[in-house]
C-alpha cells in the first residue's frame, strides 16, 4: 500500500489527536486541529465514506469557533494573510462537511445557521474560495430548514453583487425561494416583497452585461413561483424587457437567442396583461423602431430552421433543450398574434402596414412548415411513415413478457415526450390553431385539413396536456373550407365533439361552458354549410340535449346561459336541415327542447337582444314540433 495511505491504527490515532486539538480551549490548537482534519479528510477516501465517523468529527467542531474564523477572516486586520487563511480554512471545512454529512445532520441548526456568515463573507473571499462558499450555501438552502434561514437574511447584497460573475449565486436564490414555498404561508407577503426587491437589485447588477445568465435564471424561476410569492406588478419588468430588446438587436449567439426566447415566454405566462404592451409595442413610430418585430422574425426563422431536423433528435439528449426553446418560441408567437389582433382594432396600431405584410407572410410560411412537422411527427408515432394509414400497421411484436410494440410505429422513448405528452406539440398546435382561426388563408387551411385525424385523437386523449381548446380553435378555421368539413366528418370529429358537448351539458361544469361554446361554433359551421339534408347521426345530439335540466331556482352564470343558448341554436339548425319524416321520428325530443327554450327564457330577462334571439329559436322549434 502506498505510503500516503494511513493504516487503520494511524488513522485512529490521527482522529484522536484531531479531536483533542478541537476540544482545546485556545484558538491556536483548534485552528491546527481544523487544518489537520481537513488534510486527513482530503487524503483518506475510506474515512470520507464512513458516515458515523464523519458525524462524530463534525460533533467535535465548535460552531462558534467556525463563526469566529469567518468573521475574523472577513475583517482586514493587521495580518491580511492570516485573515485570509482563517477564512479559507473555515469555508473549506464547512464545504467538506456539507458534502459528506448525511441529510439529517446537514439540515440541523449547527450547519444551516452558518448560512448568514457565509453570505456575509463573500465580498472578502479569494477567487478560489468564493465557489466553495457558494456551493456550500446552495447545498444548505436546497432543503426547507436552510431556505428558512436564508430568507431571514436582511442583506443579500454580497450575493447580488457577485451574481454577474458567479452563476452559483443565482442558483442559491433559485433553490432557497422554491424551497421556501413549502414553509408556512404566514410570511408570504414579506417573502414576496423580498423576492421583488432582490430581482430588481440583480437586474441592476447585470447592467452593462448581456444578462444572458440572469435571463436563463428568471426564465426557469418565474413560472415555478407560486402566485403568493410572484410579485404582482413588479417595477423591474420594463427594465428586464429592455434587456431582452437589447439582446435581440445585438446579433445574439445561440445561447443569447435561447435566453431571450425562454424569458419572453416566461414573462408572457406569468404576466399576461403587463408583458405584451411592453414586449410587442414600439416606443417610437414603427418605421423607426422595429425591435419587437425583429424578435418575432428571429423566432420564426429559428422555428423554420430547426423543425426539419428535430424529429431525428427525438431520442437524443439534446432534444429537451431544443424542444423547450421551440416551445417558448411558439408561445411567444401565439401571444404576439393575439396582441396584434387586439391592437389592429385600436386607433393607433403598433405595426405599420408594410411590416404587417412582411410578418404575415413569414408567419404563414412558418405555420405551413409547422403543419408538415405535425403530420410527420404524428405519422411516426402512430403509423411509422408519412401518409401510412393506421390500418396498415402490422401485428404488434412482443417487446417483453408484459408489453408489445407496433413494429412500424416510432416515438420518443420517454413517456413524457411522446406525441400526446410533448409540450412542443401543444405549443405548435396552439400557434397553428390561432393562425388558422384568425387568418383567412385558404391554402394553409386546406393543408391543415390533413391534420384532422391527429387533432381529433389529441382532443379525445386524457393525458397530462389538454389539447381541447387549441384543437377547437384549429377546427374553427379548418371547417371554413369544404375539404376541412369533410375531414372532420370522415375522421370522427363530429362524434368526439358531440360526446364532449353532451358531457358538458349534463355535468353542468360551469368552467367548461366557454369550451362548449367553441364546440357549438365548429359544429354549427358544419351544419350550416351542409348541402343536403341533415345526417341521421347528427340527430343523436337532439336526443341528448332533450335531457338537459335547467334549474329554476339556482343562479346560473352568464357564460353557462350563453352556452345553453348556443346549443339550442345548434339543435335548431340541425332540425331545420332535417326532412319532415326525420323530424316526426324525433317529435318528442323536439317538444322537450322547446320546453328547455322556455325554461331558459327565464334566465335571460333583461337582455333584450338575447331574448329576441331566443324567441326566434323557440318559435322555429315550435313550428317543427
Residue 355 inside a domain? The answer is yes
611 shares a domain with 503: yes
Closest by CA to 93, choosing from 9, 161, 35, 23, is: 35
Cell numbers 364532449 correspond to 500
Question: Facing residues of 398 across strands?
Answer: 404
Give the pLDDT confidence score for residue 416 in this predicted structure: 66
Do 542 and 426 lie in a common domain?
A: no
The domain in which residue 616 lies consists of 492-625
Asked if residue 118 lies in contact with residue 153, where contact means CB atoms within 8 angstroms, the answer is no
Q: Are residues 575 and 534 in the same domain?
A: yes
Q: pTM of this prediction?
A: 0.88
Question: In whole angstroms, what is the distance from residue 96 CA to residue 116 CA?
Answer: 18
Q: What are the residues whose beta carbons fall under 8 Å from the beta carbon of 63, sequence distance 6 or more? A: 110, 113, 114
| 500 belongs to a structural domain | yes
Residues 557 and 561: their CA atoms lie apart, in Å, by 7
Question: How far apart, in whole angstroms, are the C-alpha atoms of residue 332 and residue 18?
Answer: 60
Q: What is the model's pLDDT at position 289?
A: 46
User: pLDDT of 480-513, one tens digit each?
Assistant: 999 999 999 999 999 999 999 999 988 877 789 9
In a domain, 173, yes or no: no
pLDDT of residue 188: 83
My answer on whether 505 and 563 are in the same domain is: yes
Same domain, 359 and 442: yes
21 part of a folded domain: no
Is the residue at 570 inside a domain? Answer: yes
pLDDT of residue 211: 96
Beta pairing class for 404-405 and 397-398: antiparallel
Buried b (16+ CB within 10 A) or exposed e, 230-239: bbeebebbee
The verdict on 373 and 511 lying in the same domain is no
Q: Output the pLDDT for position 40.
A: 87
At 11 the pLDDT is: 67
Q: Which residues of the chain have a pLDDT value below 70?
A: 1-11, 76-80, 184-186, 282-292, 345-350, 383-410, 412-413, 415-416, 553-554, 606-607
pLDDT, position 515: 95
Which residue blocks in 152-253 are alpha helix, DSSP H?
A: 157-162, 167-180, 188-205, 212-221, 237-248
For residues 355 and 476, membership in a common domain is answered with: yes
Whether residue 610 sits in one domain with residue 531 = yes
- Judge whether 367 lies within some domain: yes
Cβ-contact 562, 517 below 8 angstroms: yes
> Does one domain contain both 250 and 286?
no
CATH code: domain of residue 550: 1.25.40
Number of domains in the chain: 3
Domain identity same for 216 and 297: no
Instruction: Judge residue 219's burial from the number of C-beta atoms within 10 Å of its C-beta, 0-12 exposed, 13-18 middle, 19 or more buried.
Output: buried
- 3-state DSSP assignment of residue 146: helix
Q: How far apart are CA 140 and CA 190, in angstroms?
A: 22
So what's the pLDDT on residue 386?
A: 47
Query: Could you tell me if 311 and 365 lie in one domain?
Result: yes
Candidates 199, 276, 277, 210; CA nearest to 246 is 210
The closest alpha carbon to 473, from 521, 524, 407, 526, belongs to: 521
* Claim to verify: residue 340 and residue 243 sit in the same structural domain: no
The domain boundary residue, chosen from 485, 517, 532 = 485
Q: Render pLDDT for 154-212 as a digit per residue (tens, 0 to 9).
A: 999 999 999 999 999 999 999 999 998 877 666 788 889 999 999 999 999 999 999 99
* Confidence at residue 609, expressed as pLDDT on a 0 to 100 scale: 81
Last residue of a domain, one of 250, 270, 290: 270
Choose one of 226, 241, 270: the last residue of a domain: 270
Amino acid at each position: 500500500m502506498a505510503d500516503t495511505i494511513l493504516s487503520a491504527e494511524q488513522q485512529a490515532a490521527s482522529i484522536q489527536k484531531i479531536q483533542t486539538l478541537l476540544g482545546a480551549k485556545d484558538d491556536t490548537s483548534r485552528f491546527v486541529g481544523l487544518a489537520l482534519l481537513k488534510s486527513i479528510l482530503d487524503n483518506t477516501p475510506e474515512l470520507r465514506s464512513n458516515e458515523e465517523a464523519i458525524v462524530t468529527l463534525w460533533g467535535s467542531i465548535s460552531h462558534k469557533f467556525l463563526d469566529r474564523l469567518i468573521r475574523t477572516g472577513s475583517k482586514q486586520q493587521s495580518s491580511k494573510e492570516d485573515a485570509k487563511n482563517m477564512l479559507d480554512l473555515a469555508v473549506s471545512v464547512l464545504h467538506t462537511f456539507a458534502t459528506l454529512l448525511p441529510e439529517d445532520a446537514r439540515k440541523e441548526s449547527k450547519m444551516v445557521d452558518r448560512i448568514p456568515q457565509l453570505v456575509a463573507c463573500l465580498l472578502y473571499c479569494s477567487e478560489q474560495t468564493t465557489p466553495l462558499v457558494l456551493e456550500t450555501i446552495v447545498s444548505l438552502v436546497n432543503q426547507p430548514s436552510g431556505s428558512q434561514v436564508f430568507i431571514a437574511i436582511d442583506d443579500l447584497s454580497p450575493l447580488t453583487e457577485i451574481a454577474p460573475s458567479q452563476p452559483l449565486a443565482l442558483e442559491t436564490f433559485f433553490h432557497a425561494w422554491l424551497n421556501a414555498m413549502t414553509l408556512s404561508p404566514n410570511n408570504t407577503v414579506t417573502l414576496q416583497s423580498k423576492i421583488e426587491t432582490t430581482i430588481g437589485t440583480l437586474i441592476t447588477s447585470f447592467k452593462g452585461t448581456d444578462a444572458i445568465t440572469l435571463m436563463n435564471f428568471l426564465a426557469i424561476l418565474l413560472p415555478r413561483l407560486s402566485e403568493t410569492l410572484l410579485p404582482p406588478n413588479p417595477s423591474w419588468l420594463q427594465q428586464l424587457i429592455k434587456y431582452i430588446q437589447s439582446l435581440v438587436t445585438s446579433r445574439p449567439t445561440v445561447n443569447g437567442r435561447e435566453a431571450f426566447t425562454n424569458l419572453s415566454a416566461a414573462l408572457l405566462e406569468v404576466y399576461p396583461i403587463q408583458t405584451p404592451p411592453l414586449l410587442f409595442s414600439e416606443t417610437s413610430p414603427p418605421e423607426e423602431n422595429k425591435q419587437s418585430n425583429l424578435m418575432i422574425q428571429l423566432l420564426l426563422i429559428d422555428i423554420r430552421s430547426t423543425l426539419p431536423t428535430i424529429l431525428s433528435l427525438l431520442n437524443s439528449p439534446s432534444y429537451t433543450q431544443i424542444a423547450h426553446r421551440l416551445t417558448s418560441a411558439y408561445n411567444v408567437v401565439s401571444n404576439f398574434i393575439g396582441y396584434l389582433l387586439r391592437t389592429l382594432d385600436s386607433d393607433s396600431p403598433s405595426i405599420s402596414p408594410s411590416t404587417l405584410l412582411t410578418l404575415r407572410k413569414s408567419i404563414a410560411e412558418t405555420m405551413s412548415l409547422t403543419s408538415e412537422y405535425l403530420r410527420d411527427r404524428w405519422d411516426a408515432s402512430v403509423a411509422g411513415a408519412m401518409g401510412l394509414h393506421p390500418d396498415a400497421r402490422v401485428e404488434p411484436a412482443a417487446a417483453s413478457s408484459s408489453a408489445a410494440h407496433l413494429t412500424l410505429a416510432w416515438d420518443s422513448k420517454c413517456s413524457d415526450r411522446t406525441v400526446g405528452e410533448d409540450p412542443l406539440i401543444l405549443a405548435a398546435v396552439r400557434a397553428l390553431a390561432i393562425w388558422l382561426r384568425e387568418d383567412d388563408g385558404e391554402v394553409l387551411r386546406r393543408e391543415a385539413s390533413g391534420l384532422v385525424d391527429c387533432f381529433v385523437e389529441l382532443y379525445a386523449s386524457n393525458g397530462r396536456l389538454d389539447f381541447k381548446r387549441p384543437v377547437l380553435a384549429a377546427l374553427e378555421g379548418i371547417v371554413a373550407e369544404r375539404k376541412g368539413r369533410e375531414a372532420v366528418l370522415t375522421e370522427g370529429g363530429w362524434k368526439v365533439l358531440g360526446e364532449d358537448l353532451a358531457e358538458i351539458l349534463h355535468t353542468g361544469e360551469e368552467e367548461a361552458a366557454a369550451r362548449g361554446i367553441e364546440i357549438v361554433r365548429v359544429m354549427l359551421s358544419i351544419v350550416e354549410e351542409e348541402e343536403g339534408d341533415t345526417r341521421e347521426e347528427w340527430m343523436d345530439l337532439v336526443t341528448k340535449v332533450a335531457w338537459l335540466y335547467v334549474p329554476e331556482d339556482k343562479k346560473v352564470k352568464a357564460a353557462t346561459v350563453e352556452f345553453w343558448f348556443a346549443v339550442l341554436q345548434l339543435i335548431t339548425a340541425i332540425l331545420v336541415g332535417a326532412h319532415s319524416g326525420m323530424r316526426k321520428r324525433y317529435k318528442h325530443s323536439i317538444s322537450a327542447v322547446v320546453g328547455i327554450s322556455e325554461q331558459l327564457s327565464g334566465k335571460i330577462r333583461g337582455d333584450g337582444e338575447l331574448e329576441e334571439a331566443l324567441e326566434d329559436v323557440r318559435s322555429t322549434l315550435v313550428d317543427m314540433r
